[in-house]
Amino acid sequence: MGENAASTGKNQLPHHQVFDVSVDVPHHGGSKCFDDDGRLKRTGTVWTASAHIITAVIGSGVLSLAWATAQLGWIAGPTVMFLFSLVTYYTSTLLSACYRSGDPVTGKRNYTYTDAVRSNLGGVQVKFCGVIQYLNLFGVAIGYTIASSISMMAIKRSNCFHESGGKNPCKMNSNPYMIAFGITQIIFSQIPDFDQLWWLSIVAAVMSFTYSTIGLGLGIAQVAENGKVSGSLTGISIGTVTQTQKIWRSFQALGDIAFAYSYSIILIEIQDTVKSPPSEAKTMKKASFISVAVTTLFYMLCGCMGYAAFGDMSPGNLLTGFGFYNPYWLLDIANAAIVIHLVGAYQVYCQPLFAFIEKKAIERYPDSKFITKEIQIPIPGCNPYKLNFFRLVWRTIFVIITTVISMLLPFFNDIVGLLGALGFWPLTVYYPVEMYIVQKRIPKWSTRWLCLQILSVACLVITIAAAAGSIAGVVLDLKSYKPFSTSY
């Protein structure tokens, strides 16, 4: 599965280090060491690609699904989740077809999402796509820092609560936990590139199943204890919230579900770690199907079981909703699994952003020793670690900035909804559809062209509604908010 993790050669290699042997190498790996583009041979498989996708998809988004289901009710909640899964799978197959331009087997490779947009659409679209993609990745880093601190605090609070026999309310500040997560990320950010993350992805994917399963199990236990299935067909009742609140919250729920499914922003980067033959698009189709099927099953179970357990009172974060009651040690395990998973997921999302900045810096200053020089540090039993000072400094600054912003904006649910809304339509639907139309030369106004455009417009409407709901939530949060002093 990655027996030679470093052997997949990534697009952020400085151009003077890329071995340009493509002239001598016949297509489809005539050389044992290099691919058809003269880069070191890629070794990724369906399973490593699926692990990357599951790590990216079953993120903290799963925890807000019970709340989202509660806003929409028993009919709309599961239906919306299922529809999002279909759209995500379909558009990800369109996007994976754009990894190579021209011929799907021997065409020119696009190493990143923006490369694919440049090859197929060009012009101002490339800049627009780059801005949205990298802002989204930046936002995800903030969302994950907030989520991890909430889980670390849940562990500390449940233990404090039990030691005091429930007498101490155990209020605590979230800042030290965000800082601890930030320090961990500074260390992991020094992993040079995406294809060396496969082991971290697999650990993170296992962790995501661990906490989703615990959340699901506790939901089932709570339903059994209540002796009834809570919730209603139409969702949270008027009275618990006002009519206007219900509308805003329903919109925000759409954003939360969209966020829970978004991985298109890193799909091409994951595809660039996959070996061929068979063609990378075929491998990614399989990996997308496996990942989306597995995540949809988990989402349905966690969202529905959480709603069945808590009804209208479903919490924004499922695992903090069971209070600190027994079995509190099980909740501690689940929250620890979330933190470990988020450490990996943060890296899976941020590596494309790191690669982009480093590539631009090398193009701009090819003669700067600070940017290009790599110092070999021997590690016993492993390949030597290549230390690059620019990478060390810039990635550390990036993690510090995301941590400080997280300390300023600790509203998990609304931030998650807003990120989902802003990234979903352009990156998951619009660009894959437009690029596919260009790639396959689908004639304008043909039935297929019309169907694809209708899908795109429908998703745009959902995105606007979700963004409006989340902004309303953030505005509400800001009314009672003091910076750097969030406690739970």
The span from the CA of 33 to the CA of 20, in Å, is 12
- Retrieve residue 114's tokens: 């923006």
Asked if residues 157 and 488 have their Cβ atoms less than 8 Å apart, the reply is yes
- Residue 52's pLDDT is what? 82
* Residue the block writes with tokens 């961990």: 184
Calculate the CA dihedral of residues 238, 239, 245, 246 and round it to 10 degrees.
-20
Q: What is the chain's pLDDT, residue by residue, as a tens digit (488 residues)?
A: 333 333 333 344 444 433 333 333 344 444 678 777 777 788 888 888 888 888 777 766 777 888 889 999 899 999 999 998 999 899 999 999 888 887 778 888 888 888 899 998 888 989 888 888 888 888 888 888 888 888 888 888 888 877 777 677 677 788 899 999 999 999 888 877 766 777 877 888 788 888 888 888 888 888 888 888 888 888 887 777 788 888 888 888 887 787 778 778 788 888 888 887 788 888 999 999 999 898 888 888 888 888 888 888 887 777 766 654 557 788 888 888 888 888 888 888 888 888 888 888 888 888 888 888 878 778 787 777 778 888 889 999 999 999 998 888 766 656 666 776 777 888 889 999 999 999 888 999 999 999 999 999 998 988 888 888 878 777 777 776 666 655 55
| pTM tops 0.85, yes or no | no
398 alpha-carbon distance from chain centroid:
18
Q: How many residues does the chain have?
A: 488
Model confidence over 232-251: pLDDT tens digits? 888 887 777 788 888 888 88
Asked if residues 466 and 254 have their Cβ atoms less than 8 Å apart, the reply is yes
The CATH classification number of 47-479 equals 1.20.1740.10
Amino acid symbol at 262? S
Among 160, 148, 146, 147, residue whose Cα is nearest residue 328: 160
What radius of gyration do the chain's Cα atoms show? 23
* Residue the block writes with tokens 């993609």: 133
